[in-house]
Structure 1
Amino acid sequence: MFVARGTTRFGRTGWLGLALLVVAGVWFAQIWGQHQQPVALDADEPALVLPAAPVRLPATQHGMSLARENEQALLLTQIQQVAVSQGLSWAAADYKVLPAGEATPASVEVRCTLKGTYPRLRGALAQWVQQVPGLAIRDLSLSRTSSDVADVEAKLQLVVFMRSESAEGRP
């Protein structure tokens, strides 16, 4: 009875349109479900190395944890080891030590170029921010040779702010 009444009211083209709407809705639901699933990495690419609990230095009077000036070599080694542990190619880096000024703390500037996949680069950046006290990313430039290539080339400028030895004794 419902079908007969619908056929007289909508006709065969109306039923065909309704059927197409149902098919399109089911198809959209399937595509949407696939879109919401997390993206799986390639089988040949191992999972990212997540950082262990970060080492915390004592906080300064402003609540920010900074390394001492005499820990520069340790921090630079730590930055390089994080990049290598994430599987990024670390060819070379330029380091520049900037002394403390009246309004700025002492800092070490690191300029480097890394090559690897985007997830590995992102993992290294997250690990640096978590583990290296006083680290800031001043400049980040990413490029790829083509859209078919998974590897990116990242030009980074990192700054590690240091706690001055003379400032520790001041209240």
Structure 2
Amino acid sequence: MRFTLSLIAACAALVNAGVFTQKTFNDISISGGVAGNAQNEALAVFSALDTNNLANVDKDDLDFLNSVNKICNEAEKGAFNEAIDAASGEQADALQRGKIKNKILKLTATVLKLQAQAAQGQDVQDKLQKEQTKLNKNIQTDEDEAGKPSTALSFDATTN
């Protein structure tokens, strides 16, 4: 009997374990390629998450989503802003499109985290609405630049 209960508990822990593993910024970056499809590219990064069952998102996955936000912010400040300031013309424009795609990745992670927290009963509606508005604005900017080159930058950061 004791063995059976232990086995059931172990299986339950596996079912509730997080779906994400530690990744580097470069592993999850969507900044390269072309503009116009960043929303789908960002959603693909988080495709392991069951968005139909956000009430059961594991704390480790919430932490992962939060850390994606953090490293994308760091890349924006420590790589994209500096590179854009140093560039001009189409090079600067392509870097800016990469920065927008990075923002979409960051904000998608944040919105997913907040949606999961809301589904778990936390009062995050105001913050969720604010972040969703930012995400929508950046998605529109990306779509307005569809088909134009987007430059990715390497950045040394890792998720939790």
Same-fold status (TM-score > 0.5): no
TM-score (norm 2): 0.33
TM-score (norm 1): 0.32
Of Structure 1 and Structure 2, which has the larger fraction of its residues in strand?
A: 1
Of Structure 1 and Structure 2, which has the larger fraction of its residues in helix?
A: 2
Larger-Rg structure: 1
